Structure 1
Amino acid sequence: MDDLTNENMMQVIESAEAIRQGHAQLKRPYYAANLFFENSTRTKSSFEMAEKKLGMDVISFDAQTASIQKGETLYDTVKTLEAIGVDVVVIRHGEDRYFDQLEGRVKLSMINGGDGMGHHPSQCMLDLLTIYQDYHTFKGLKITIVGDIQHSRVARSNAIALKRLGAAVQFSGPLDWMDPELMQIGRYVEFDEAVEKSDVLMMLRVQHERHAFGMTFSKEEYHAQFGLTAGREKRMKAGSIIMHPAPVNRGVEIADELVECDRSRIFKQMSNGVFVRMAMLQFVLQQREALKHEFVN
């Protein structure tokens, strides 16, 4: 997200909205590869759908059978794909800032599909689009990100972007799971206060796989203290919305019956993910073509 200006973010949002209404094109065929070294359903399939809707050819890549299992570096893998003609790669990797080893060394376009506990730009952009569709602005909105903040790249990307766009960002959840760096962006609030006063409640998945010593709460305890229960939903501010990056642990972060309630935007976020990722692919490929043109001139 640090590579995007506020104007860039709004450009992608506006482009995604135009695509949603049926306007999308690329001037020529492009080739894409999705390098996912961590498990993914939504992000990987959403990028594949976005690429195919744009008419791109998608090169098959399976991290479990790739030469990286033989000791090949990520750089050599990406450089190989560049050499055979791939135009853009989407990479998800467990290492924070894996892209530092690639920046300035490859010529193809790259999109970060998630790096460790760093950032998740495409999730952030689809969240921004979803919020914008309801409120048509970010300025002055009270947005509370709830849950496993410390381990969440979604929380990090959203907090930074929303703050820059003028929203009042807050955090809630277990105090032990807060992130000191992000707490400089927004204040901590008790969850029941957040429920009653927020315009957007952004619930996060409890990332069991990133907790070195396991969960300190049972599922029932977490839901009672920090989950969006049916009773809490009734106390939410009029017109406020519920978001979640998914996968949802039903009955943990959010009550099962609320996942598809009127306030919920969870499945709309997933639909918006395709439009946003189409817009992001267009954005990076247009930048690439502009650089090529500049070089030729």
Structure 2
Amino acid sequence: MGVRKTSSSERPSVPAPLGEVQQVGERTWAYLQLPGTWFLNNAGIIGGPRPVLVDTCATDRRTRHLLDSAAGLVGSLTACISTHFHADHTFGHHLLPQGLPIWAAESARDDAAATGIQHYEGVFDQPEWGAQTLRLATDVVGNSPVKIGAVHAVRHRGVGHTAGDVVAWVPDDGVLFTGDLIFAGVAPLGFHASFAGWRTALEWLRTFDADVVVPGHGPVVAPASAIADVDEYLALIIDTAQVALDRGLALLDAADRLADNRFATWGNARERSVINLAIAIAELRGEPIALEDAIGPALEDAGGPFECEA
């Protein structure tokens, strides 16, 4: 068995710095919240006659900083593109200007409505969330790309990271905001994923011929290496899940098999390997899995709530 972490009560999380802006194109900026671990997502700011925001942040404090950064760079926003429904990318939507269009896949909007605002007490060290209310997308990205200013919002057809993944493509700058289809230096997380479908989505990302990828979490990366890394990680999860099924391994013993690969040093690697394997095993069996059944063993393994630097 691998070495288990000490209880999070013995090592309280220290908040990471607020996000930083990195220019990645003539009129395109990445808003990066490094190291990109739990609830530290990236966002995007695209200028021009119709300035566009890509995603918001998990907490009110972080979203206000993002919006202030955007205002200083591009002025008044005209739209927001929401890459998927997860909390870290959407909980700040309520701070967007009233009446601002928010574009998302229909399934992402439906999933956000069904999930609501949840702060996951007992699962994570609790950041200062703020006074949050649920604000849903107003406009739907369907089967055809939607051009919003200089940005093309494009929906992936099928289940990848979620059932409603949308990318924001800035062709003039060669920049692709992938949402959580790509993680860089942080372990991918498949709470609502199909791991096989996610690998298909990665092949789809190659069709954009981007020069720069802004991942959902982690630093800006080159497309080829970013896609290859996530694909290798997902293949490793699937293969390990299959071994666990074939040999009847316990979940944590299967996760121990991932302790010596190159992804073991990525952020949140241990807890996410447990969660991902539980979900991947259920997918291989063709069975649904309740999230608490995937999270519970990881919490037990961690000795308490997951560290959260948001």
Structure-2-length-normalised TM-score:
0.35
Structure-1-length-normalised TM-score:
0.36
Greater share of residues in helix:
1
Looking at CA atoms only, which structure, 1 or 2, has the larger radius of gyration? 1
